Structure 1
């Protein structure tokens, strides 16, 4: 591929890792340009922008909530909270996984954050999955450890960080100790699981 053609191909954004508790707090979205096709970013309270996210958790519940056509909602739980993923006719692969997977099952999801305002004026954040894959417990455990590391990195860099940390400070005025506590709780949850498995 020559340089001239590669410039017109949009590069896929890195999928960020975030625990459910932080993801659900990421209610502020923005674009970096006025171009209609410019990516929409969700601003994580720990100071990172996310156009795509990578999450792994337990798919505990699926439901077809569509009226005229299939529109599936999946409830995915990690040690800090719950992600809601919605897939319809434009995400056929993700839709079929939500339709066919027996719950509970560990799943890995790559998708885009979506926020919408409820009738009550609250902002809810959900995932529009690009892909959903059934995975094993080891994959889930590795995701928890790696996501804990990334979250702590963001917290530690926050004071000296870039424009996104400054933006998060302005938009959320976040109490970063909450996210640190969630990291610790998530890792302790893994240790408890490991102990239970060892005893079994």
Structure 2
């Protein structure tokens, strides 16, 4: 095997609040096929992301052929995902699923500049599958841990992606600590509501 066979990038976990702020993308080489990374504001690069949340809405927005849009909500906000003929499995999943449903999605960040100059961030899905509430809860806890790890490493002088984030984003890193707290509180509230309902 040749040494430069591309390996699949690890799929990063990020909450919607941070992901939707990740409007800056870059490549690390001039190679045409070099991966495109979204720069997470907490100081990490993401070529792929792993998301679990509630699919709240699906819509075929295609004109000549099917092109599906899905909204996936986590405790901090909404992810948008788009799938068409080049993502047939994901498009089929969005067509067949009945919202609301807990789903897990792996995909690539995509950015789109609107006419007013703002940048929308979405996910081009590789896979979408139905999961249960426990899987969603575990994802929230693990994503909170990963986010806090990135925040803890943010001030390390050798963290090149954190330095890039400081250069390209205006958002203070504390914003994402607040998102973590919100996400974990929402789990606690759900748990106490469930306990009350079962009492």
**Among 76, 80, 86, the residue aligned to 1:84:** 80
Unaligned runs of 5+ in 2: none
- Equivalence map 1:36-185=2 (5 Å): 36-160=32-156, 161-185=158-182
CA distance in structure 2 between the aligned counterparts of 1:6 and 1:144, rounded to whole angstroms: 38
Q: 1:100-147 deviations in whole A, cap 9, x for unaligned?
A: 001000000000000010112110000000000110000000000000
User: How far apart, CA to CA, are the structure 2 residues paired with 1:131 and 1:105?
Assistant: 15
Contact 1:168–1:174 (8 Å) recurs in 2:
no
String of CA shifts for 1:63-85, please: whole Å, max 9, x gaps.
00001110000000000000000
> Could you report, residue by residue, the CA deviation over 1:125-182 in whole angstroms, capped at 9, with x for unpaired residues?
0000000011000000000000000000000110015110110011114311111011
Q: TM-score, normalised by structure 1?
A: 0.96
Alignment partner of 1:154: what SS? helix
Task: Look up the match of 1:188.
Answer: 185
Unaligned runs of 5+ in 1: none
Specify the alignment match of 1:14 in structure 2. 10
The CA RMSD over aligned residues, in Å, is: 0.8
Partner Cα separation in structure 2 for residue 66 and residue 134 of structure 1:
24
Give me the whole-angstrom Cα distance separating, in 1, the residues matched to 2:189 and 2:131: 20
Asked if 2 retains the 8 angstrom alpha-carbon contact of 1:26 and 1:45, the reply is yes
SS of residue paired to 1:25: coil
Q: How many angstroms apart in 2 are the aligned matches of 1:98 and 1:53? A: 18
Q: How far apart, in 1, do the equivalents of 2:134 and 2:3 lie?
A: 39
Q: How many residues align?
A: 196
| TM-score relative to the length of structure 2 | 0.97
